[in-house]
Structure 1
Amino acid sequence: MEISSVTPLNQQLKTESSQDNSFNLGKDDFLKLFMEGLKHQDPLNPMKNDEMMSQIAQLGFMEQVTKMSKSVEALQESVTGNQLQQGSAFIGKTITAFDGNNENPIVGVVQGVRKNDAENLIEFLLENDTVQLGQIKEVSLSRGDMNVKSDV
């Protein structure tokens, strides 16, 4: 039995794997490997139906997990967009926040809003500082006409 046609596929997978540390097999790769296995199986001892059904079920499961992962990513992007939009309502307002130890008050007018990708949080940009939503204790109009207090 000659298996030379499997070797190039194996070398190709190794080459791609060494070039990209985030190497993942997709459904197309799984199908290629499955078909190669069927082509080169022993005709006197073929794959049993339950083994084949198991592998096909694994392919279906992998495809559903991939779709779900993409849906979660889209939902996360949507939520972040909504948070930025809601955070933009704070622009021009005076906020009072506390540092990480809840000791030193930080007071300033919100100049902008941004997403902190490292912590996946929305941050408010003041004149000389940056605060997160959970640190804000009070929001007021710039002139102090109206106060809205929060116990976040």
Structure 2
Amino acid sequence: MTSINALGGTSAASAPAAKPAGGTLDYSAFLQLLIAQMKNQDPTEPMDTAQYMGQLASFSQVEQSVAANAKLDQLLTSSALQIADAAVGRTVTSADGSVTGQVASVRISSDAPVATLTDGREVTLGAGIRIA
């Protein structure tokens, strides 16, 4: 088996590279593929350099978007935990005023924190909720 290392050399007996989780391509694997593509191209018909740079720029943008989304998820989780902390032990009233009660616990869901009242009813802690 022949594998390509990051320095552009090949090795017949090297161990296979670990695959990224979930079938995704990380930045270093992308660069290894790009180097391999450049090394193994037909010298009489080389690929356009602009195409390589476009591929690299596209991957860089995707990588930055993934990092930004991760930071946004952390921010939203932090916000939900702060709301949950502020609501426990207090009286909440739903946006339409139909449900009022003291919060016994708060569960964080993917949409918004959900308060469980002492009488067992649940209220989503979203827009329009009053906490007293």
User: Would you say how many aligned residue pairs link Structure 1 and Structure 2?
Assistant: 121
Q: Partners in 1 of 2:101 and 2:29 — Cα distance?
A: 55
Q: Structure 1: where are the runs of 5+ without partners?
A: 141-152
Aligned to 1:38: 38
In the alignment, structure 1 residue 70 sits paired with structure 2 residue 67: yes
**Distance across 2 between alignment mates of 1:136 and 1:125:** 17
Residue of 51, 55, 58 corresponding to 2:55: 58
Where does structure 2 lack aligned partners over 5 or more consecutive residues? 4-11
Matched, 1:114 2:111: no
Distance 1:29 1:135, change over 3 A: closer
Structure with more helix by fraction: 1
Task: Could you list the structure 1 runs, at least 4 aligned residues long, displaced by more than 6 angstroms after superposition.
Answer: none
Identity level (%):
25
Q: 1:137 to 1:62 in 2, by over 3 A?
A: closer
Once the 2 structures are TM-superposed, how far is the Cα of residue 124 of structure 1 from its aligned partner? Answer: 1.2
Q: 1:27 to 1:137 in 2, by over 3 A?
A: closer
Q: Deviations over 1:16-65 (max 9, x none)?
A: 48xx5x21122222221222122222233333xxx222222221221132
Distance 1:84 1:33, change over 3 A: same
TM-score using structure 2 length: 0.67
Could you say what secondary structure the match of 1:111 adopts?
strand
Partner of 1:144: none
